[in-house]
Structure 1
Amino acid sequence: MRDERANAPIDEDGNHMTVILSRPYSFVPPYRGNVWPAAIQKLRLIDRHLRKRECVIDYELRHADRLTDSIAAGHGVLLAPNHCRYADPIVLGWLAREVHTHLFAMASWHLFNTNGFEAFALRRMGAFSIYREGNDRQAIETAIDILVTAERPLVLFPEGTTNRTNDLLKPLLDGVSFIARTAAKKRENAGQGKVVMHPVALKYLCLGDTWQWADEQLRQLETALSWQAAPPSRDPARLLPRLLRVSEAYLALKEIEHVGQASAGDLRPRRDALIEFLLSRCERRYDLQIASDDSVRERVRRIRSAVATAYFAESPTPASDPERDPEPYLVDAAAADLAQFLLSFPDEYMMPGQITDTRVVETIQRIQEAIYGKAKETMPMKVVIEVDHAIEVSPQRGPRGQPDPLLCQLDERLRTMMIALSKEARDFEKP
């Protein structure tokens, strides 16, 4: 069978094969030993990885003692960070080192299918798989069991995926509160104590010359688009229009690729129209019904699930059928991934008067991912890791038909911390 990755999409986590068609899903359990995670910490392997692969060269911990207190109290501890960069799961290793513990973390199954070494390393650092395209009971039960036994803190990213928007929070998934509440009920029934949730805010701050970096990266993008690169400039009044032009060029290319021609007008309605075109085409192909209030994320998840279900329905062992052509299914998976990726360009992120150096870097890196397949992690970063006070998880659900009170509290806490941290970035409009 040919390598599906050759033409597979780059997903929102920066990896090939969001939908895996080489074999059906199988749960990857966490490694529960302490030898490997202890060795990783002792040898400072996460520091090397973050410096080399993610250009995250420094960190600052704030209120780590709050986590220490919860662990010392014997609580089942859930860490709920915002998810803004691919480095997020690894930088939490610095927090674990500070409080002398190891972590378990839920990770998308496709991350275990990039290469053998990464799959090996993920498990040894405490990760276990979740099948995002379906109902993964085994992953959920594993997460609940970790909280009930209080063996280690559990990391769950309540946004689900990342899209390089450090100052904005995506809608939170209710699976996080379900896992926490179920574990709290089991602990209460067994007389084992509490389950607590710590919101954790992650904020990346640029350490280098952002204006020079932005100019260089934009000139490379302009060259990739066969444009004559603009002369070097550190003037935000020149850099920001160039960034807008490159964004518009990428959108026009995708319109031509999928619709047949580029449209005119403002970027937001054009983006939304292309997202709707991509999703509705896939939904018709798989006969999926949508409701008026279905989010783009929910529609994308449903399409991914339909792609995998349809592909494996033809043959449960595709590897034994060399004549099988996964290409049509990969095309549909790529369309769903593109729709979600397009949504990761927030409308309000580059409003005049609110533009920081980190926002410019994130926007350029999203475009690099779109054009090159991978962002250029060349801007030195420092990450601030701030731990909030523990939220005691009630075993009881809120009133039926009302917003989940636990999720609302988590959302409010994270937003408050992220707004405060966003003010620590430099104003890009004043170099």
Structure 2
Amino acid sequence: MQKIFIEKPYRFVRPLMSTWLPWLLNNRLIHSTMLRTTESIVAVKSRGVDRLEKSIKAGHGVVMIGNHPRVSDPVVIYDLIRQANSTMFAMASWHLFNQGWLNTAIIRTFGGYSVNREGLDRESINFSVSMLQKNERPILMFPEGATSRTNGSLMPFLDGPTFVARTASRRRHRQGLKTVIHPIVIRYEFVGDFATEFEKVITSIENELQISPSLDSNPAKRVQVSLDALVAKQERAFDRTGNPNHSPFQRRQHLADSVMEEAEVRWFGTRSEKNIANRIRDIRSRVFPELLENENLSAEERNLRWHDLERTYLAWQMASYPQDYLAGDASKDRILEISAKILEDLTDRPRKCGKQKVTIEVCEAIEVPPTKHPSGKPDPLIAKIQHQLENGLFGSRED
């Protein structure tokens, strides 16, 4: 499990409020050098910049909501922000502010501020709403909550970003002002030597899993064998037995659901019917704070709580492998994405998919209604955002 749980009391980290410093640092040369050296991204192309510019010039409060396939997404979007002649704020998980002072300084300089994913972070919410209400600058948020590591899929959304947008919209509406959401589509494309990169990754996977190299020359089938072996390994680790009559996707979903259900019954008395992202958030919010705040927990209960946090980590891993992603004539991008994802899940170390280029597309503005949404019911605002993102990701597009 990667170090996403920070074992010290949470404190809200504000961004640096300077606009000239991020503007100065976000020039094309510095930005492209940063992407190339740290993320192996050799080109970025932004489309629909005029849509974002129009909303900014109109004085709307602007929320940018993107799909989240890579950890590099916020850095990539600065190409769009530069072309829109703006700066931005970006909500980021608190664990990213605990990876050294330099990393924290860079995030804050570029407008990043923290959110506590393991609890209700009123400070982060209030800051977001306040900045939108004052129309300081656009705010970037990722409602999937964590990286999916796949271009061709969307994970279920958390409702935090739309809650922030609706709250700000109510306040701005009293002043006769609008709040809008621009869905932001982010797509990565591999541009290197596929055969060399694939062989490097798949060999590492097979070594980690201690399985013999597949004799099948079809890369997608070779990856599927490794993915099945990974699932079987995790089933054994969490005392689960896969149903031989289930498809590989059903086995992954069952594993994710069963480990979550066991934790939910323990802490809430019943299985949740929410989507996987909200189920994970609820368990972490219930289990983790006590580990920090209650010094009287027994060693047995502490171990139990950590084990349930590991269950949420496994559930996200399994649920974020899309169905039929490698079916048919799978693209080299999908093959490399899943390969890198498997290796990351085995080693807990992020793995880049070789040299890539990125396309960013700004979707049409969605006006945020100045009304509260009833709790427990599907939010039509989320549905609109998902629809535009799905059209951008899966619909026809120019290359």
Would you say the 8 A contact 1:82–1:414 is kept in 2? yes
Deviations 1:363-418 (A, max 9, x none): 00110101222233251111101112222222134688864332222121111111
Counterpart position of 1:62: 47
Q: CA deviation at 1:207?
A: 1.0
Q: CA deviation at 1:333?
A: 1.7
Instruction: Indicate whether 1:278 and 2:259 are aligned.
Output: yes
Secondary structure of 1:201 counterpart:
strand
Would you say the 8 A contact 2:93–2:114 is kept in 1? yes
Counterpart position of 1:246: 226
Q: CA deviation at 1:129?
A: 1.0
Q: Percent identity?
A: 31
Amino acid at match of 1:178: F
Q: CA deviation at 1:45?
A: 3.8
Q: CA deviation at 1:284?
A: 4.8
Matches within 5 A, 1:6-155: 9-10=1-2, 16=3, 18-21=4-7, 23-42=8-27, 44-155=29-140
Would you say the 8 A contact 1:53–1:377 is kept in 2? no
Counterpart position of 1:339: 315
User: Which deviates more from structure 2 when the two are superposed, residues 301-310 or residues 90-99?
Assistant: 301-310
Q: CA deviation at 1:229?
A: 3.7
Counterpart position of 2:236: 256
Aligned equivalent of 1:387, options 342, 349, 362: 362
Counterpart position of 2:379: 404
User: Which deviates more from structure 2 when the two are superposed, residues 204-213 or residues 339-348?
Assistant: 204-213
Q: Matched residues in 2 for 1:28 and 1:330: separation?
A: 25
Aligned equivalent of 1:315, options 284, 295, 300: 295
Secondary structure of 2:63 counterpart:
strand
> 1:324 and 1:268, CA in 2 relative to 1: closer, same or farther beyond 3 A?
closer
Q: CA deviation at 1:421?
A: 6.0
Counterpart position of 2:191: 207
Would you say the 8 A contact 1:253–1:262 is kept in 2? no
RMSD of Structure 2 on Structure 1 (CA): 2.7
Q: Matched residues in 1 for 2:43 and 2:84: separation?
A: 18
Q: Which structure 2 segments of 5+ residues have no match?
A: none
Secondary structure of 2:284 counterpart:
helix
Q: Matched residues in 1 for 2:224 and 2:32: separation?
A: 35
Instruction: Indicate whether 1:188 and 2:164 are aligned.
Output: no
Aligned equivalent of 2:273, options 290, 293, 297: 293
Aligned equivalent of 1:374, options 349, 372, 379: 349
Q: Matched residues in 2 for 1:40 and 1:98: separation?
A: 14
Would you say the 8 A contact 1:303–1:336 is kept in 2? yes
TM-score for both structures, normalised by structure 1? 0.84
Amino acid at match of 1:382: K
Amino acid at match of 1:214: F
Would you say the 8 A contact 1:29–1:128 is kept in 2? yes
Q: Matched residues in 1 for 2:379 and 2:241: separation?
A: 44
Instruction: Indicate whether 1:361 and 2:336 are aligned.
Output: yes
Would you say the 8 A contact 2:224–2:326 is kept in 1? no
> 1:298 and 1:74, CA in 2 relative to 1: closer, same or farther beyond 3 A?
closer
Q: CA deviation at 1:171?
A: 2.4
Would you say the 8 A contact 2:191–2:355 is kept in 1? yes
Secondary structure of 1:155 counterpart:
strand
Counterpart position of 2:155: 170
TM-score for both structures, normalised by structure 2? 0.90
Q: Matched residues in 2 for 1:397 and 1:312: separation?
A: 33
Secondary structure of 2:166 counterpart:
helix
Q: Matched residues in 2 for 1:255 and 1:398: separation?
A: 39
> 1:145 and 1:372, CA in 2 relative to 1: closer, same or farther beyond 3 A?
same
> 1:349 and 1:97, CA in 2 relative to 1: closer, same or farther beyond 3 A?
same
Deviations 1:327-372 (A, max 9, x none): 554333222111111111111212214x222111110011010122
Q: Matched residues in 2 for 1:104 and 1:19: separation?
A: 23
Q: Matched residues in 2 for 1:263 and 1:360: separation?
A: 26
Would you say the 8 A contact 1:74–1:150 is kept in 2? yes
Would you say the 8 A contact 2:45–2:360 is kept in 1? yes
Amino acid at match of 2:393: M
Would you say the 8 A contact 1:80–1:198 is kept in 2? yes
Q: CA deviation at 1:157?
A: 1.4
Q: Matched residues in 2 for 1:270 and 1:290: separation?
A: 22
User: Which deviates more from structure 2 when the two are superposed, residues 82-91 or residues 388-397?
Assistant: 388-397
Secondary structure of 2:114 counterpart:
strand
Q: Matched residues in 2 for 1:65 and 1:303: separation?
A: 41
> 1:411 and 1:368, CA in 2 relative to 1: closer, same or farther beyond 3 A?
same
Would you say the 8 A contact 1:215–1:239 is kept in 2? no
Q: Matched residues in 1 for 2:261 and 2:49: separation?
A: 46
Secondary structure of 1:377 counterpart:
coil
Q: CA deviation at 1:167?
A: 1.5
Would you say the 8 A contact 1:252–1:263 is kept in 2? no
Q: Matched residues in 1 for 2:221 and 2:27: separation?
A: 47
Number of equivalenced pairs: 397
Amino acid at match of 1:60: K
Amino acid at match of 1:267: P
